[in-house]
Amino acid sequence: MEWEIVMGLEVHTELATKTKIFCGCSTAFGGEPNTHVCEICSGMPGTLPLLNRRVVEYAVRTGLATNCNITRKNKFDRKNYFYPDLPKAYQISQLYLPICRNGFIEVKAADGGTKKIGIHEIHMEEDAGKLVHDEFSDCTLVDYNRCGVPLLEIVSEPDFREASEVVDYLEKLRAILQFTGVSDCKMQEGSLRADVNLSVRPKGQAEFGTRTEMKNLNSFRAIARAIEYESRRQIDILEDGGKVVQETRRWDDTRGVSYAMRSKEDAQDYKYFPEPDLPPIEISDAFIEKVKAEMPELPEAKKRRYIEELGLPEYDTSILTSDLAFVRLFEATEKLCQSPKDAANWIMGEVMKLLNDSGTLPEDMTLSPEKLAAVINMVKAGKINRGTGKTVLEKVFSQDVDPETYVKENNLAQITDLSALRPVLEEVIAANEKSVSEYKGGKTQAMGYIMGQAMRALKGKAPAQEVQKLLHEMLDS
């Protein structure tokens, strides 16, 4: 039987606001435990939440960028459950009136075309703290630093049929969140987390199968693997005549398996009800217009501009706009070196290779546009050749050296004065009598060897064309 996989995503993203959603504490990642904490975010008796307006602005920005309708009268609700990382024993969230609804993101479909993935809703909520198990004293400690960091939960419709669609959606969504300045989307710091709801059904069947929800997916690669594993697991169960159990499963990326965390029967009753401590938030036309006017350029718009104004091929624009770090590097470098195509080529070629080889994430890259442009400009001006350029860039990348100083100190600049070549070539000719006489005897292939010896003597710092021309001049006469 042919099976179809049906998936929906719940994405949590931490917002890049400076302060928490309901108090003035810092949202900075890291920090000594319980140092970004006050009476409010630690849930002390008598305290009240105070809404950070910037969170509403970011939520509206995200909604507009994903083609959503914006809810004009917003309310918060309480989601009640006990856990030590949740000091109030309820999370302030939005159930009844989420701030954004009915949007979509366009993704690459498996058949090569495009496909709209519906966004069911986006709502605002607060993050919980973190439990740290201390092996040494065998006790669990709580760090409330993350408590109250603003989150958006972005819930898709069950529109995905292929893992590749899921990954493309997440890449698009991440780019939107980064480009709008809403989130830095660092998966390894937990500022972008995705849960996958997955079911399978015989191809052609209208109703959905029983779904499971997978958590703890910490990278795009883990997501793709978990989807493969879970769809296989469900198909195997069904093909053996069994039934899929509705449950929440945890992905173990090291072992490459998922296991059940809790079934539907253990599902908590969160007893949602309207949050009485926060007055409703009215979103006016003027506010939406203001957010629209201040909206940073989104990936699609950037692509169009790169094609139309900078003359880049579409392929380049897709790669460059896949991450805000590339965009920032490209736009600044392009201006400094006055050559969009050179900037694009260097980023797509050398920079990405260096990132890959060193396992560095784009957002952690320290390479400055000034230094990249300096390398490009030196190559363009013929001051160094492309190969030397790559070597210099590698040093810049790994040790943040100054490219011009590095070239100078290591004597890497091209020999531009042709008269300086002649004495070196004379030495080469003298030292390779055998090859020279072979060449002169009509064995033209010998020139290749002489050329190689010449370039080695020149340490590659002379333009090969000029060297060859001069050799011919000296030997052919």
| CB of 32 vs other proteins, minimal distance in Å | 18
Task: State which of positions 135-154 bind other proteins (CB under 8 A).
Answer: 142
Q: In terms of CB distance, is 41 or 425 closer to other proteins?
A: 41
| CB of 123 vs other proteins, minimal distance in Å | 19
Q: Which range binds other proteins by CB under 8 A, 63-71, 162-170, 271-279, 341-349?
A: 271-279
Does residue 264 belong to the site contacting other proteins (CB under 8 A)? no
Task: State which of positions 13-42 bind other proteins (CB under 8 A).
Answer: 39, 42
Ramachandran angles phi, psi of 312, nearest 5°: -80, 150
| CB of 19 vs other proteins, minimal distance in Å | 14
DSSP 386: H
| CB of 98 vs other proteins, minimal distance in Å | 18
Name which position in 84, 256, 382, 448 contacts other proteins (CB under 8 A): 84
Q: Which pair of tokens denotes residue 208?
A: 């959905």
| CB of 193 vs other proteins, minimal distance in Å | 23
Q: In terms of CB distance, is 34 or 360 closer to other proteins?
A: 34
CA distance 430 to 432: 6
DSSP 145: T
In this structure, the chain runs to a length of 477
Number of residues that bind other proteins (CB under 8 A): 28
Name which position in 279, 311, 349, 382 contacts other proteins (CB under 8 A): 279
> Helical H runs in 362-445?
369-380, 386-399, 403-409, 421-431, 433-440
Long-range contacts of 384-391 (CB under 8 A, 24+ apart): 384/412, 384/413, 384/414, 384/461, 385/414, 385/460, 385/461, 385/463, 387/460, 388/412, 388/460, 388/461, 390/350
Please list, in sequence order, all residues whose beta carbon lies within 8 angstroms of the beta carbon of residue 439, skipping any fewer than 6 positions away.
446, 447, 450, 475
Q: Which range binds other proteins by CB under 8 A, 223-231, 272-280, 350-358, 383-391?
A: 272-280
Q: In terms of CB distance, is 90 or 160 closer to other proteins?
A: 90
| CB of 330 vs other proteins, minimal distance in Å | 43
| CB of 128 vs other proteins, minimal distance in Å | 13
The contact mask relative to other proteins for 40-59 (x = CB under 8 A, - = no) is: --xxxxxxxxxx--------
Name which position in 63, 87, 389, 403 contacts other proteins (CB under 8 A): 87
Please report, as a single letter, which amino acid is at residue 53: R
* Burial of 362 (C-beta count, 10 Å sphere; 0-12/13-18/19+): middle
Does residue 386 belong to the site contacting other proteins (CB under 8 A)? no
* Burial of 186 (C-beta count, 10 Å sphere; 0-12/13-18/19+): middle
Question: What is the number of H-type helices and E-type strands within the chain?
Answer: 16, 16
| CB of 147 vs other proteins, minimal distance in Å | 11
DSSP element (H, E) containing 209: none
Does residue 301 belong to the site contacting other proteins (CB under 8 A)? no
Q: Give residues in contact with other proteins (CB under 8 A).
A: 39, 42-51, 78, 80, 82, 84, 87-90, 142, 269, 271-273, 276-279
